[in-house]
Structure 1
Amino acid sequence: MSVRIRRVYEAPEPEDGVRVLVDRLWPRGLAKDAARVDEWPKGLTPSTELRRWYHAGEGSYEEFAERYEAELAAPDAAELVDHVRELAGEGAVTLLTASKSPEESHAAVLARLLQS
């Protein structure tokens, strides 16, 4: 299983495989054709409340990760997690995010969950 994380602003690469945008909002200033996004499951993104809480600096990344994993355990989100896990079982999957620090973002939490 191959799951990696990249910034959506980076140019697509052949080894990306299926490119999955995991942000709720479309990245600013990026043309849809340039992004080459294959899937955009908005149900995999953190809730607006959780995003606001984390970006306001009210909690640690570890607490954010725990809360996000709890959101991903909800039935609708769990179905989407299973779908992306199936894609990863068939070949490479790249999780795309506009986050400036992908290694400390929801994409990293999702990647860990997919690989477990």
Structure 2
Amino acid sequence: MPVQIKRAYEKADKKDGMRILVDRIWPRGVSKEEAELDEWLKEVGPSKELRKWFNHDANKYEQFKKKYKQELKENSTQQEELEKLKEWTKEHNKNLTLIFGAKEEKYNQAAVLKEILDHQ
């Protein structure tokens, strides 16, 4: 089973497995109770500068993906949180869901993280 991604505004489901928010910013209008998260890895998200540059523009997605992966390699805090994600992915046999707040469901950091986790 591959790692799943899901918007924070969608209802939690038992099939989600471990639910991990991978945004630096808490999703607007979602309470902690509604989110039903197991973990929040703020620091694994892209830097503020990269996030603002990308702005969920589908035309910039391939560039964003490269820049974000580079950030994950170079920033020790992001690296540590990515390692946690990798460990949980193994521990839970990929039965986990990366939660994100963006409206754009296809082109976002959760999709990049999913790709990394699915290919480890």
Unaligned 5+ segments in structure 1 are: none
SS of structure 2 residue aligned to 1:107:
helix
- Structure 2 counterpart of 1:37: 37
Quick one: structure 1 residues 56 and 2, their matched pair in 2 at CA, closer, same or farther if it must change by over 3 Å?
closer
CA RMSD of aligned residues (A): 1.6
- Structure 2 counterpart of 1:19: 19
Unaligned 5+ segments in structure 2 are: none
Q: How many residue pairs are counted as aligned between the two chains? A: 115
- Structure 2 counterpart of 1:10: 10
Matches within 5 A, 1:99-114: 99-114=102-117
Code of the residue aligned with 1:63 in structure 2: it is: Q
Contact 2:44 2:82 in 1 (8 A): yes
TM-score for both structures, normalised by structure 1:
0.91
Q: Runs in 1 of length 4+ with deviation above 6 angstroms? A: none
- Structure 1 counterpart of 2:82: 81
TM-score for both structures, normalised by structure 2:
0.88
- Structure 2 counterpart of 1:46: 46
State the identity as a percent: 40
